[in-house]
Amino acid sequence: MPTTEAAAIAAELRTAMGKLTRRVKHEDRIPLGQVAVLGALDRNGAMTTSDLAADQRVRPQSMARAVGLLMEQDLVTRRAHPTDGRKSLVELSDAGRDALEAERGRRVGWLAQAIASELTDEEQELLARSATLLERLATR
């Protein structure tokens, strides 16, 4: 059973992380759902639309629409599945990879600028140590 202090820290941390996440996402130029699909393809390689839907926890019909929008923007391509002729694989195009890197760069750039301008050197060191702790919590 968590202590009252741990519960209070958890509540404050959840709120702060939510605000920070929303603020960082404000830098996006591509809608969040599309960035998530591009990120999944970058991490996992080519996937079927069904696998993408499962990965993103959305209905296959919703993922088919998202993939269609990404294809219209030339951010993904579709090719035949190597072992199942009924399926196709969706993969990042060069333009999709470039767009994803630009999105990541905008997010990191904004956050780096905020850290540099808002935090003292001591606070930056504390934040760096905290990032390790947050990663440990995330993998629990």
Is pLDDT of 1 > 80? no
Is pLDDT of 60 > 90? yes
Residue type at 60 in one-letter notation: P
Which own/partner contact pairs does 20-24 have at CB distance under 8 Å and 24+ positions apart?
24/107, 24/110, 24/111
Q: Which residue range forms the structural domain that includes residue 103? A: 4-138
d(CA 74, CA 70): 6
**CATH number (domain holding residue 43):** 1.10.10.10
Q: pLDDT tens digits, residue range 10-54? A: 999 999 999 998 888 888 788 888 999 999 999 999 999 999 999
Q: pLDDT tens digits, residue range 73-110? A: 999 999 999 998 899 999 999 999 999 999 999 889 99
Number of domains in the chain: 1
Residue type at 13 in one-letter notation: L
d(CA 139, CA 124): 23
Which own/partner contact pairs does 49-57 have at CB distance under 8 Å and 24+ positions apart?
49/88, 49/90, 50/87, 52/90
